[in-house]
Structure 1
């Protein structure tokens, strides 16, 4: 009889569970979430990994699934080694599983994504997170100075879980110097990667020869002529200067060509910032809004299935808004993060000058990572969506399901 189905994706969070399934040849089918049309019918939270056992028994949350799958192992000796034999050992294993799944994981992957440009880069914040990573590295080093493995004397679930963030860090954002500074952590990681479990899910791991570094977008520089190349002044007496041609002032932004609008955007932004949204600001907006001058668009992130922690999703939106700075004077809107960690999405409503979305959004390099749909405020459904996005006081309806708003950003 089948032991169940694991719904998974390429996310590293699924690695420890996959290692158990393959190592012990468990009769559990691994199915990619993206291939299952009714996944959110089965799991309304939509998060990965997810598990369905015999008779429809369902589990979500990575750690819960990891422990459940470990219990399916028939080899009692191997099971005891993975989960701990005594109550003290079991507690230590759970402790280190938690370490590898919370703050350490968050610090490493937030820095990695910001250095890669997926999230907004802030040197001070990255340095603070590197300090957190360093603290964890010292804790691991102290423990592993006298122990082969992190929780007990044999490889356990704690080792598998902690190896996920550390393999990500040492293969990308930590340089060879970090290996030298933390020899016991490095030795442990090599041991886990070389284990029967590690060969299954960490087989492609390699220590980085050089740490990834953030590369800011290059600004074009105009070469100034050298001093001896400066054009010489002509003698006015010898040569009459031709009449100066009238200079043509070019629009700094394509939307400037639309001219001044009767709807004063700055007035609306002040009203939104200083007044209660539902009772005061929104009624004022609909009284003054001119749909011939401005249009409103539903904007949604295309790759919600790749989002993990809600704060990281919010940082993603913040970075997008920062990169829209050249168009901000022509725009207003909100985007929210709905759902919870490892099961969230990004959507919102943004008003722009004119009737086409591209001139406002294409100033941001990542604008094509979002989908755009024009809203019609004369339709009650569209108007309600706009109100809800700008008020943040009602759940987001996704596929007929109410999803609570976890965070968001205002573009103004």
Structure 2
């Protein structure tokens, strides 16, 4: 009997779990989450990895899933080594798994994404994250000066999880100077990478020749238009022929332009939303005029909420996403909110787009695939209430049956 299905992606969070499945030949099927149409229905938070076991039993959150998969290992000796033999060892393993998977992980990948330009780059935020990473590196260094492995005397889940995080740093944002600065950390990392279990996860790992650095995008230079009298004489006949030829149809500047003019006037709605009370004036007008044959409304959620830290940084991430949607804003309206508190928050919201296909509206932003999209049906009371709440910002967001207060947000208009 199958032990379940693991939903994965390219995120490093999947690596430790996949390594255990492969090493101990567990009967678990791995499926790329992006190929599953109803993934966000099964897992509303969109977090990866995710798992469905016998009789529909579900797990999200990598640490919980890592421990569940470890419990499926048939060899008790191997299981004890990975999770710890005594209660003290088990506590240390869980402690160091958590250390590697929370603030440290968020800081490292926050900098990798921003330096690569996949999220907005802010030097102040970048420096603050580096300070966090250096602090954690010092803690690991001190521990590993006197211990072969991070939690116990054998390779455990803590080493597997920790190496997942630190290989990401040393292959990108940590250069040779960091290798020299933290010799005990590097010695431990080399040991874990070279182990039998480590080779299932880190076989392609290489230290960066130099630290990854942010390169501001180059501004394109506009060519100066030539004056009429500067046109070469030899091109005069070509110009005359071109003038005589029938004009080619004007190509649309945006794919959604092909849908034509809408009976629902978006600019009028945006003025209503900006100038009138949302609940009393704007929303009643909206539902009186909204045309579902011309527009659709989508629930948009950030896929990696578990990597978010400070709420203001999450809000900055939303702002950067909206800035990169500029080419589509004449065909869109909506809000994304940040709910929760520092080091425990998420991003969700409702965005209306022209037409019935979300891709042309969103794919103008390079980071659009960092979000999940689920179509909402305003004829359903729950969906309509969600839209109203996201656009009014006056009620908590319900996440897994729990009310989470809105901390911040942005309006796309």
TM-score by length of 2: 0.69
Deviation at 1:138, TM superposition (A): 0.2
Q: Are the aligned partners of 1:392 and 1:405 in contact in 2 as well (CA < 8 Å)?
A: no
From the CA coordinates, give the structure whose radius of gyration is larger: 1
2:203 corresponds to which residue? 203
Matches within 5 A, 1:346-385: 347-349=349-351, 366=366
- Report whether the alignment pairs 1:2 with 2:10: no
Structure 2 contact 338–345 (Cα < 8 Å) conserved: no
- The 8 Å contact of residues 332 and 351 in structure 2, kept in 1 or not, is answered as no
User: What is the DSSP-based 3-state SS (H/G/I as helix, E as strand, rest coil) of the residue aligned with 1:119?
Assistant: coil
User: Which residue of the partner structure matches residue 322 of structure 2?
Assistant: 321
Instruction: Tell me how far apart the structure 1 counterparts of residues 70 and 367 of structure 2 sit (CA, whole Å).
Output: 43
For residue 365 of structure 1, report the CA deviation from its aligned partner.
5.7
Alignment pair present for 1:145 and 2:145: yes
Question: Deviations for 1:330-350, whole angstroms, at most 9, x for unmatched residues?
Answer: 997523468999997755346
> How far apart are residue 47 of structure 1 and its match?
3.1
8 A contact 1:299–1:350 mirrored in 2 = yes
- Residue range with higher mean Cα deviation, 69-78 or 156-165: 69-78
Deviations 1:20-40 (A, max 9, x none): 111122232223333444545
| Residues 118 and 316, structure 1, Cα contact 8 Å, conserved in 2 | no
Q: Which residue of 2 aligns with 1:159?
A: 159
Deviations 1:347-376 (A, max 9, x none): 534699xx9xxxxx89x7649769999x9x
User: Contact (CA 8 Å) 2:273, 2:282: kept in 1 or not?
Assistant: no
1:12 to partner: Cα distance? 1.2
Aligned pair count reads 366
Mapped to 2, the partners of 1:34 and 1:176 lie a distance apart of 36
Shift of 1:403: 10
- The superposition leaves residues 279-336 of structure 1 with CA deviations (integer Å, 9 ceiling, x where unpaired) of 36656x769x999xxx9875776x9657754567654321023456799999975234
**1:371/1:128 CA distance change after superposition, 3 Å:** closer
Distance 1:282 1:98, change over 3 A: same
Deviates more, 1:21-30 or 1:156-165: 21-30
Deviations 1:249-298 (A, max 9, x none): xxxxx9xxxxxx9x8999767636xxx53236656x769x999xxx9875
How many Å separate the matches in 2 of 1:142 and 1:111?
24
Residue 32 to residue 264, structure 1, CA distance change in 2 (3 Å):
closer
Q: CA deviation at 1:218?
A: 1.8
**TM-score, structure 1 as length reference:** 0.69
- Which residue in 1 is equivalent to 2:30? 30
What are the ranges of 5 or more consecutive residues in structure 1 without an aligned counterpart?
Answer: 225-253, 255-260, 356-360
